[in-house]
Chain A
Amino acid sequence: MNIILQDICKKQTITRDDGQIVVEMIIDAWDREDKITIDLSNILVASVSFLDEAFGKLAFNYPKEALTEKLSFTNIQEYDKALLNDILSSRYHQKELGLNGLSKAKRRKKSRNSKRQTKMAA
């Protein structure tokens, strides 16, 4: 499967909302497709927000090996490639630390909710 960023996002490759469109397509195709190629058409994205939302957060759902096996990037600028690698590395590092991308406040809330659910179940 080929995802041509220019066709999907037009010039909207800045915000998290823009990245959300791409990540949804990837997750949707994950089980169906052997390979997902993302063509960046040599556009310079240079947005941490977009790259993190579109690809960085996949680190929380898929192991590194599965990600590199399934995804490939073409026509990506060196600058974006370096940025993408940094974002993914730091997201995997975050995952190793068990933070799963949630802020302290959200983690506290999640843990409170799960405690409440356990109590209710009991």
Chain B
Amino acid sequence: MLTLSYPKKQSIAFSDTLLKLYALAKETSEDEINFNLNKSDSLTPFGIIMLTATIYECHRRNKKCSYRGPQNQTLNDFLTEVGFHTHFGLDDLKAPKIDAIQTGAVQLRKTRGLDPMLIETLIDILDHHLKISPGVKGFLQMSLIETMTNVIDHSGIEDYFVCCWNYPDKKQIRLCIADLGMGIRASLRGSGKYSRHSLTNDCRAIILSTEEGVSSRPGRAGLGLTHIKRFLSVNKGQMCIISGKGKVFWKFDKGKTLNATTAGFFEGTIVKMIINTDKEWRYFMSDEKIF
């Protein structure tokens, strides 16, 4: 049995550790894998998605998974509330029903294909907590539809994971979406629209995928991530995409973009966002009526 000991904090800052554990779980010849969260005391939606993706990979390889929960009771309660325990098959720790819009949260879920209800819920959450204008609402809805379609198209498979959580004390909504498909670089390369020169590494492919007009789909504009990026830059939020061995982190709050090669290879794509809920005044788009 292979035991994967998870760190105290499971967030984007520890993505390398989490990716190493993901790679270990995928490559091991052991039949059983124990997910040990004993020492953990906090998980963000990114951490939850990484952990879920690792478990999913093990299931795909017909490996038996066991689980040792955290000692920290607050984290235990959170994992139940966010739906992780239900997802893991621990039926006695069933996730409670929550009002997504009021709480600003979407419990962990694996979804298939374009899910308009999910997108509507996410938009309603943003509308409720950020008080966005009808135009921005429509604009974000279309962008999320494009992003989800991109996730499906890029991955080559239709399953993906979503988790969104509200942190009222931090005045942030954190959203994470991940698929376990072929990754951005392979997908753009497969489209035949981009030269080898423009796709030299995973970071370059990630950046390219967020540029206007770039898509792996023939004849489509590929604006989802471009517009979400623009929205987050106005919001002074953050966006991070991990795909293959590339990680690109846009810290709009600090005016920085960081590119890095990750410690482990992630086959699919993870998109993580931090949206500030106290920045209503920043929406220059909200009041102006040109027509």
Contacts and interface: CB of A to CB of B under 8 A. Distances in A.
Interface in B128-146: 133-136, 138-139, 142-143
Given A83-B139, A89-B285, A89-B290, A78 B134 contact: yes
B135 A82 contact: yes
Chain B interface mostly: loop
Given A81-B291, A82-B133, A17 B230 contact: no
Contacts of B230: 90
A73 B290 CA distance: 11
Interface residues of B, number: 24
A92 B136 CA distance: 16
Interface string A60-77: 000010011001110010
Contact of A47 (B142, B211, B288, B290): B142
B210 to A, nearest CB: 9
B285 A49 contact: no
A75 to B, nearest CB: 13
A15 B219 CA distance: 8
B223 interface: yes
Contacts of A86: 133, 135-136, 138-139, 285-286
Interface in B101-145: 133-136, 138-139, 142-143
Contacts of B60: none
A46 interface: yes
Interface in A44-63: 46-49, 52-53
B65 to A, nearest CB: 41
A89 B288 contact: yes
B85 interface: no
Interface in B49-65: none
B139 A87 contact: yes
A81 B289 CA distance: 9
Contact of B285 (A52, A72, A90, A105): A90
B212 A103 contact: yes
B135 A48 contact: no
B220 interface: yes
Nearest to B214: A103
12 contacts: A15-B221, A47-B142, A48-B143, A49-B220, A82-B133, A82-B134, A84-B135, A85-B135, A86-B135, A86-B138, A89-B288, A90-B230
Interface of A: 15-17, 46-49, 52-53, 64, 67-68, 71-73, 76, 78-79, 81-90, 92-93, 103, 105
Interface of B: 133-136, 138-139, 142-143, 211-213, 219-221, 223, 227, 230, 284-286, 288-291
